[in-house]
């Protein structure tokens, strides 16, 4: 099938980058808050500045001229290496942003090592069985699901407390040397590795069912000889997920950077956005976009190297459909019963009743999951928050999947847009969206959708490229199949199960991102009992009262395992049954 001209990717990158920088430049004027007031408070913490002080700041920053002159002045200085000066500190922007970028990239590389190690552990059993022709059914990946559901900020607090404070093995905070990277890299890399490993664990069985594997087995090749090309084949479809899962942590690891007091780019971008320090925010956003483009191009080259000439010559094999493991139904039923029981019992209790005499009490007959810092029953808050949490998260995930599939099918233009948007923190889009819509749960949902489609677009584009290089598709075209027939009967059935499974593995992450926006005042507001917000509210009491976070974390893990067990493997079509 003819491809999209390569210049479309460059046009997509320029359009996305230009729109993004322009949107950031409008933030002070969209927010409805006087930027002079915000900047002055960030400078001096003065809560009641005089009109004369505000007028002086407006004249100093040129706010009366509007956003366009400022944007043009900032763009004009970039070719000279001048990104302006900070509105708050008055120091040059570029050195500060480059220092933060260096810290974040270093942490990202350490996180990548952890991610690869965890992904290898998750998929090792499937790889071992597949090379020995012992893999006859597709497992559900339920090992990866609970690990992928671990909240990064909660894991960071736990690691800092246990290994930093109690045992003293690693620094509990700061950025002083290689030892400082260990705990934050684990907090970020373990859930990310579980997502990548789960996707790889899902791709390997289909690879081992391809005809060339059976031929190699019949020819007497050793398992180790078969494992290497099989792993290359499966990795090609998973590799694009490194950008939204690992590279995006450069700007998206704000909570972990705050817990460990790391001066990274995500924390710098958030602080500058809250202070409306426009030169700092614009420069950080531009560097994040450039990093996404560079990472996208590198991963695309690696994918093509892994697949080799078969991708170019249209000689990839079609993967067969596999059955679910026999234990899937039992696991699905067990998780559903446990989750429904928690929700039903919780709905019978009052989630808003405050009992200051029962603050942070441990689990008991009266309070099976304990109470929070205000004495509210955790079981009641879990039950009443279930429908809202799951409903909003599923709605956001569904919209993101649809957008991702559509943009992933857009060819090179969609690829350029995906690269630019993949590293953008959801917190920044939340600030932009809230500036227009005001703080609300659906405003936060729109903000997550603006960046949440990127993993699915990257996966869709990669899988489509591989499917179009298979022999059966070339045969269908030679028999006169048109684009609509190919899309309906071949391409969509091949990519949808993998994309849906990816979305279900990322469902807990969506819940937590929505919670982080609510915690910043951009989304769901208290006292609404939303699961992610329950984790955020009780995270400071992790050492004193771990049960306050154990309940919502356990419910989130149950939801993740339930989603993974219910996810499809690979849909059967006519051409796979022949």
Look up tokens 């208290």; give the residue.
526
Higher pLDDT, 8 or 162: 162
In this predicted structure, the answer to whether residue 550 has a pLDDT above a threshold of 80 is yes
3-state secondary structure 266-310: HHHHHHHHHCCCHHHHHHHHHHHHHHHHHHHHHHHHHHHHHHCHH
Strand ranges inside 19-124, DSSP E = none
| Residue from 155, 540, 558 nearest 382 by CA | 558
Residues 5-36 as b/e (b if ≥16 CB within 10 A, e otherwise) read eeebbeebbeebbeebbeebbbbbebbeebbb
* Tokens read off for 95: 């050195």
Higher pLDDT, 329 or 200: 200
Q: How many CA atoms are closer than 13 Å to the CA of 427, on its beta-carbon side?
A: 25
pLDDT (average), residues 247-265:
85
SS3 content of the chain, % helix, strand, coil (to 5): 70, 0, 25
| Residue from 348, 381, 373 nearest 552 by CA | 381
Residue range 188-229, pLDDT digits in tens: 999 999 999 988 988 888 888 888 888 888 888 998 899 998
pLDDT (average), residues 459-473:
79
* Tokens read off for 458: 């990257």
Range in 266-270, 391-395, 510-514 the model is least confident about = 510-514
**H-assigned helices in 409-506:** 412-421, 426-437, 441-452, 454-467, 471-478, 483-486, 492-505
Instruction: Give the pLDDT score at 41.
Output: 77
Instruction: Give the pLDDT score at 314.
Output: 59
Residue range 90-118, pLDDT digits in tens: 899 999 999 999 999 999 999 999 999 99
In this predicted structure, the answer to whether residue 1 has a pLDDT above a threshold of 50 is no
Instruction: Give the pLDDT score at 576.
Output: 42
pLDDT (average), residues 443-455:
88
Under the banding of pLDDT at 50, 70 and 90, the label for residue 577 is very low
In this predicted structure, the answer to whether residue 571 has a pLDDT above a threshold of 50 is no
This prediction's pTM: 0.86
Where do the domains of the chain lie, and which CATH numbers do they carry?
93-307 (1.10.3720.10), 329-566 (1.10.3720.10)
C-alpha dist (Å) from residue 436 to 245, 254, 378, 395, 537: 28, 23, 34, 21, 27
Instruction: Give the pLDDT score at 114.
Output: 96
Q: Could you tell me which residues are beta bridge partners of residue 85?
A: 92
């Amino acid at each position: 099938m003819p491809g999209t001209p390569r210049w479309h990717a460059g046009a997509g990158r320029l359009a996305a980058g230009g729109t993004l920088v322009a949107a950031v430049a409008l933030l002070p004027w969209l927010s409805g808050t006087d930027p002079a007031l915000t900047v002055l408070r960030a400078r001096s913490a003065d809560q009641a500045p005089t009109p004369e002080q505000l007028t002086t700041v407006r004249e100093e920053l040129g706010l009366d001229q509007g956003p366009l002159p400022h944007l043009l002045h900032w763009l004009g200085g970039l070719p000279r290496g001048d990104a302006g000066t900070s509105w708050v500190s008055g120091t040059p922007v570029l050195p500060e942003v480059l220092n933060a970028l260096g810290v974040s990239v270093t942490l990202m590389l350490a996180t990548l090592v952890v991610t690869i190690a965890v992904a290898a552990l998750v998929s090792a059993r499937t790889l071992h069985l597949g090379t020995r022709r012992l893999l006859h059914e597709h497992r559900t990946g339920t090992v990866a699901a609970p690990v992928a559901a671990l909240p990064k900020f909660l894991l960071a607090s736990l690691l800092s407390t246990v290994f930093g404070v109690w045992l003293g093995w690693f620094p509990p905070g700061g950025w002083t040397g290689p030892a400082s990277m260990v705990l934050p890299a684990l907090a970020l890399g373990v859930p990310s590795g579980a997502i990548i490993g789960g996707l790889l664990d899902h791709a390997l069985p289909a690879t081992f069912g391809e005809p060339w594997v059976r031929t190699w087995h019949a020819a007497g090749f050793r398992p180790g000889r078969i494992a290497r090309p099989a792993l290359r084949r499966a990795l090609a479809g998973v590799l694009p997920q490194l950008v939204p899962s690992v590279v995006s942590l450069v700007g998206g690891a704000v909570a972990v950077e705050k817990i460990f007091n790391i001066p990274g780019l995500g924390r710098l971008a958030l602080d500058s956005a809250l202070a409306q320090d426009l030169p700092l925010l614009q420069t950080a956003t531009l560097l994040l976009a450039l990093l996404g483009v560079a990472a996208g191009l590198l991963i695309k080259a690696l994918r093509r190297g892994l697949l080799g000439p078969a991708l170019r010559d249209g000689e990839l094999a079609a993967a067969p459909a596999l059955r679910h493991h026999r234990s899937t139904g039992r696991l699905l039923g067990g998780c559903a019963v446990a989750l429904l029981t928690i929700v039903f019992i919780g709905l019978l209790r009052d989630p808003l009743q405050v009992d200051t005499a029962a603050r942070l009490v441990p689990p008991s007959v009266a309070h099976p999951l304990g109470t929070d810092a205000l004495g509210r029953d955790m079981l009641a808050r879990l039950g009443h928050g279930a429908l809202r949490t799951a409903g909003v998260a599923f709605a956001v995930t569904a919209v993101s999947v649809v957008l991702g599939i559509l943009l992933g099918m857009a060819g090179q233009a969609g690829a350029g847009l995906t690269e630019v948007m993949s590293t953008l923190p959801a917190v920044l889009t939340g600030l932009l969206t809230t500036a227009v819509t005001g703080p609300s749960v659906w405003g936060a949902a729109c903000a997550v959708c603006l960046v949440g489609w990127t993993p699915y677009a990257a996966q869709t584009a990669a899988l489509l490229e591989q499917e179009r290089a298979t022999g059966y598709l070339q045969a269908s075209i030679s028999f006169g199949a048109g684009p609509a027939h190919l899309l309906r009967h071949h391409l969509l059935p091949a990519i949808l199960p993998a994309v849906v499974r990816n979305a279900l593995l990322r469902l807990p992450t969506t819940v937590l991102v929505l919670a982080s926006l609510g915690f910043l005042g951009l989304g769901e507001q208290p006292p609404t009992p939303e699961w992610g917000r329950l984790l955020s509210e009780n995270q400071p009491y992790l050492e004193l009262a771990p049960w306050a976070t154990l309940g919502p974390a356990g419910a989130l893990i149950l939801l993740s395992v339930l989603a993974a067990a219910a996810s499809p493997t690979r849909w059967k079509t006519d051409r796979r049954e022949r």
